[in-house]
Structure 1
């Protein structure tokens, strides 16, 4: 039996801040440019003004920090204040992947986990089989960088 590579990953960082303070950063997509090494700005779209299930936004991305930029349409799919913020990336018809943040009170602070999960379609499975190891490393580094930058803000 062939073992397929996992279609996602996650990184966790403990922050010396309450979940409410961390929530303000992870759920305000307009601030992602301060933290992410690839998504350098984002804006609410389609009349959305803040985090809630069904809200739309677009992220302005420069893949691997180089090359051309593009806008990725996103939709908030899970929104539990101070606990969980997740969004899909893709079109209205096709979701390519999902990104999110889980917040867990721990040791007087918050354990923050950023994760991604590709949709298990044939094209994404083929993409991940060919480029998964490389893209996975880039995603892990990016998530670590994002969380460390958030940590500096909430602890600063």
Structure 2
């Protein structure tokens, strides 16, 4: 379908991997950083990052319009390396978001990424709206990471 079903943005943060991990894996803090997800909470007895843990995010698409809750499930949780979650239902995930962390000198290279599930409806959506949504996602990821970077570096 031409355009990749996803994207990523990376930044260098002058903070050690363990501190960056603590922040990116605490979904309850996403509202401080994301331009679209303004709050999140663990659900169904989940209290922190672990494969299978569930949470829901309160979203305002593009920062405007009506709000809605999205169900999420942690799909990868490798402390100080990868935190990834699927958005949608367990039976029908729509997309995946995550953070990869790599030591980078005295700091950390943080990559936020998303990957859409390659179902036919999602592929058709991406064919029509992919370029616009991809740019919006890239701007949002950059904003999120820059806000996280500011908080982590201020706490030094």
TM-score normalised by structure 2 residue count:
0.98
1:4 is displaced (CA, Å) by 2.1
User: Aligned residue pairs: how many?
Assistant: 154
**2:30 paired residue number:** 32
**In angstroms, what is the RMSD of aligned CA positions?**
0.6
47, 70, 77: which one pairs with 1:79?
Answer: 77
The 3-state SS of whatever aligns with 1:52 is coil
1:92 is displaced (CA, Å) by 2.1
The 3-state SS of whatever aligns with 1:103 is strand
Moved over 3 A (4+): none
Alpha-carbon separation, structure 2, partners of 1:11 and 1:34: 18
Question: CA-to-partner distance for each residue in 1:115-143, whole Å, 9 max, x for gaps?
Answer: 00000000000000000000000000000
Q: Which runs of 5+ in 1 are unaligned?
A: none
Residues 94-109 of structure 1 aligned to structure 2 (within 5 Å): 94-109=92-107
Q: Which runs of 5+ in 2 are unaligned?
A: none
2:118 is the counterpart of 1:111: no
1:108 is displaced (CA, Å) by 1.2
The 3-state SS of whatever aligns with 1:74 is strand
Alpha-carbon separation, structure 1, partners of 2:131 and 2:30: 25
